[in-house]
Structure 1
Amino acid sequence: MKIKLFLLLSLVLLNYSGYSQDKNFYIFLCFGQSNMEGNPRFEQQDTIADERFKVLQAVDCPERQRVKNTWYNAVPPLCRCNTGLSPADYFGKTMLARLPAKVKIGIINVSVAGSKIEIFDKDHHQIYLDTAPEWMKKMAAEYNGNPYARLVELAKLAQKAGVIKGILLHQGESNTNDTLWTQKVKGVYTNLLNDLKLKAKSVPLLAGEVVNADHGGVCASMNKIIAKLPEVIANAYVISSAGCASGKDRLHFTAEGCRKLGKRYGVKMLAILGHKVDEPE
């Protein structure tokens, strides 16, 4: 009996010592296409590091001395080696400015420029990739050819260090006028919750609008569909892109527009967590 009790206690202690989860380390999963990936070039003001703001590296970047599956200070690029400024950058900065000093923020960003939401379909992503252009296949290959699975893999690794508090999405340009988009997003969201053993009421989904009509957004009509997401996902919130400047292509946000959008993601998440903050301009 004593031997069995000793073995049981040893097993418990072994599991405990190998799982040092910090409840004050808030993890956020980010996915989407080029605007979430980071399109505009980042500037010096964007590269100020904060020890409380981390990114879990999704791919190897030897030129930046980063190794995949490793935590680093979150300075752009937060996605792959040569991507730009992402809303996730200023989402994290905005959160930290208003949270207690004991709280840290961790970002995981798995995004693919130009891709439809179908690339994150757990069961049918390969059907989409089979007909995708070679440059997109090359991007997906950096995630082992399965961006969804890579996001889950990184999230499970992150759960050993902290707690997943939310999911950030910026996608839709490539699904413009697709009335089934909200259902497709719900499918991805539900799979993430199930695969990571998360509860919907504890993990909100924040989805940003594409470049707004007030800046001549070529895909602005998609915002009417994005607006319906909370009707399909109870814990979903839409982040306005009104007033967020875009580049000449009217598809991608400028660095200034990206910062503003990222701050809005942050303010909304703070409100969800119960912090009263003023809405950014």
Structure 2
Amino acid sequence: MIRSFLLFVAAFATSFSIAADSPLPSKDKFHLFLLVGQSNMAGRGVVEAQDKAVNPRVLMLTKEGQWTPAVDPLHFDKTAAGVGLGKTFGQIIAEASPGVTIGLIPCAVGGSPIDTWKPGAFYSGTKTHPWDDMVKRVELALPAGTIKGILWHQGESDSNKELAPAYAAKLQDLVKRFRELVKSPDAPFIAGQMGKFEDAPWSPEKEMVDQASRDLTKHVPHTAFVTAEGLKHKGDKVHFDAAAYRELGKRYAAAYLKLTK
């Protein structure tokens, strides 16, 4: 039993190293951010050279549970994963926080409705359990750092007549559960707007889901809403292009810095 315990400790310690000679910062200097939602949080932009540039103070938790310098794609939900908003967000927050290292925890799942973001829920689209899988990654990350914020981008899969009317209540409940999970009742929660493209008019249901996200700040403290006005899609009228994701990252960062000013 003792041998098994020592092996576990060794494996656990190894999972929290950037490289053999590069230990993580102290827990109070390692600020963690959850990236959750569906495909527009995971990112579907075309990866370019700038998206592979490394900032030693911006790390990502890999699929295997190891901390490495953040490069796109951060996510691994589907083979289509590409540039998202997370890396740009992390870089800006790192620049605004001297002496602090940013840790990004990618957990978004393309196509996942909000109902799959609850304990035990199964999402057939990826044959995964979005909430339960995210919990495992949070529990893996928490010993190394401190959760400082939750970034959410989701809603497309709930923009229909059956699901849209209940979205507002579900979103407010979701924020509560996230905060309970990370043991921080005031953890900043930032929701982003779905793509609002000129050549893809919104349905009444999409307007309803959007309004629920906008109104979150009226009902739940320490929350923010990020607009997607003026951003372009990648050609499919659903997902942003790479430049738009980088801009979204800037807008999320601005919202976070305003919330925590």
Which amino acid in structure 2 is aligned with residue 31 of structure 1? V
Normalized against structure 1, the TM-score is what? Answer: 0.76
For the 8 Å contact 1:95–1:266, the answer to whether it is kept is: yes
Q: Which runs of 5 or more structure 1 residues have no equivalent in the other structure?
A: 1-17, 60-67, 141-145, 275-281
Deviation, structure 1 residue 213 = 4.7
Change (3 A) 1:215 1:43: farther
CA distance in 2 between counterparts of 1:137 and 1:211 reads 22
Deviation, structure 1 residue 21 = 4.9
CA distance in 2 between counterparts of 1:51 and 1:243 reads 32
Deviation, structure 1 residue 188 = 2.3
Query: Aligned match of 1:87 in 85, 88, 102?
Result: 85
Which amino acid in structure 1 is aligned with residue 168 of structure 2? T
CA distance in 2 between counterparts of 1:173 and 1:241 reads 14
Stretches of 4+ aligned residues off by more than 3 angstroms: 18-21, 213-220
Secondary structure at the aligned position of 2:72 is classed as coil
Which amino acid in structure 2 is aligned with residue 96 of structure 1? A
Aligned residues: 231
Q: Which runs of 5 or more structure 2 residues have no equivalent in the other structure?
A: 1-12, 17-24
Deviation, structure 1 residue 50 = 0.9
Which amino acid in structure 2 is aligned with residue 206 of structure 1? I
Higher Cα Rg, which structure = 1
Question: How far does the alpha carbon of each residue in 1:12-61 deviate from its partner, in whole angstroms, 9 at most, with x for none?
Answer: xxxxxx9985212110011111111111111111110011000111x2xx
CA distance in 2 between counterparts of 1:191 and 1:89 reads 25
Which amino acid in structure 2 is aligned with residue 190 of structure 1? K
The equivalent residue for 1:37 is 42
The equivalent residue for 1:5 is none
The equivalent residue for 1:75 is 71
Query: Aligned match of 1:175 in 158, 170, 175?
Result: 158
Normalized against structure 2, the TM-score is what? Answer: 0.81
2:130 is aligned with 1:147: yes
For the 8 Å contact 2:197–2:232, the answer to whether it is kept is: no
CA distance in 1 between counterparts of 2:191 and 2:41 reads 10
CA RMSD of aligned residues (A): 2.1
The equivalent residue for 1:253 is 240
CA distance in 2 between counterparts of 1:228 and 1:47 reads 36
The equivalent residue for 1:25 is 30
Deviation, structure 1 residue 197 = 2.0
Change (3 A) 1:215 1:51: farther
